[in-house]
Chains A and B, each alone.
Chain A
């Protein structure tokens, strides 16, 4: 996937000025950079959530997105929240993913019963069950402690490998995370 001539402004503040970026297919690209450099904006543009930019995205397809916050719907159970990713199809796959994420005991629970780490795992399961060929991840592990982070990194990589290695762009402040997960690192 490629971004050509990307220009994005917030008022007078230029975030991207005629910028070209290439993301390798079936690889994980870690995008690093200080706050305010447009990391989340970049993901939102790729996801189609931000359309106020100029430039061209080549080879884009519908994306799954693991947001900074789990963004679970409190009226849906863990399984239903996961199935949102696949338009309520692939129920068996969703259950299998939740089992792999060690959440099988929580399938029929509502999000209020989950810890922060569990909720993030549901958000990851939702992204992987979607079967989309691009996954975006925006500092999803930021607020978790180190041990849990590494457990989730490993879960993420396991799912990523077993899901056909979708083209993945992760945004992070954390150099260790970028090196652990990323095949390529881009500095903004």
Chain B
């Protein structure tokens, strides 16, 4: 399927080629520097990654982080969609939420993590940080796309007295859902970055973040391990972004 998709999309091939060139440059620079604790070779990172894959601990850690990522993501999806609908319908709700959304969007993640660590146990901090990163994106996407539904269509539905249920089904969902999935693709990447960063700061047990931190402490031997954990986080992010992207394409194809 992937090969077929690549054949059909020359830009995917270009992206793949750019990754290959990047890895070749990485390999070359690493070889020239000759100090694996500063920049391990890509092949070394991959071999470390495969060593990790053979350990039970890898799956516990990865699934724990993934669980936090998904939990925060689902909660922010539910909250973002719910409040986004209210914000899209009511100017008052929008005005009430505006300062909080602004606060969440502009406050540095690290600062929020430190504050939340004061209140919450370490294993919950990353979940809340992920939620805080994703929620404003979903809220804004939903409320903006409801507001931006074509006024002429609303006029038509008003004239013919279409019920709220049918307006949601035939007008709002087809306008909002494809845009929502587009923003989820971006939000998921931001979510995983925020969760892993919070795990590092909060020393969360059984987490990719903590494993990265531990690997970093081993200055001369841990850099390849650190990179292997980074690679793990990237793989999770890419897999979910591809999945969400595929869903978005399917949905958009139906109506657009």
Contacts and interface: CB of A to CB of B under 8 A. Distances in A.
A128 B216 CA distance: 72
Contacts, number: 52
Q: Which of B152, B157, B158, B160 has the most CB of A within 10 A?
A: B160
B256 A84 contact: no
Interface stretch (B10-18, B53-61, B169-177, B206-214): B169-177
Interface of B is mostly: helix
Nearest to A136: B159
Nearest to A85: B160
Contacts of A87: 160-163
B152 A47 contact: no
B169 A49 contact: no
B256 A47 contact: no
Interface residues of B, number: 21
A112 B157 CA distance: 19
Contacts of B170: 73, 75-76, 80, 84
B255 A71 contact: no
Contact of B159 (A47, A75, A80, A110): A47
Q: 5 shortest A-B CB distances, which residue pairs?
A: A75-B174, A76-B170, A73-B170, A71-B156, A75-B170
Interface of B: 152-153, 155-163, 166, 169-171, 173-175, 254-256
6 contacts: A71-B155, A73-B174, A75-B175, A84-B170, A112-B255, A112-B256
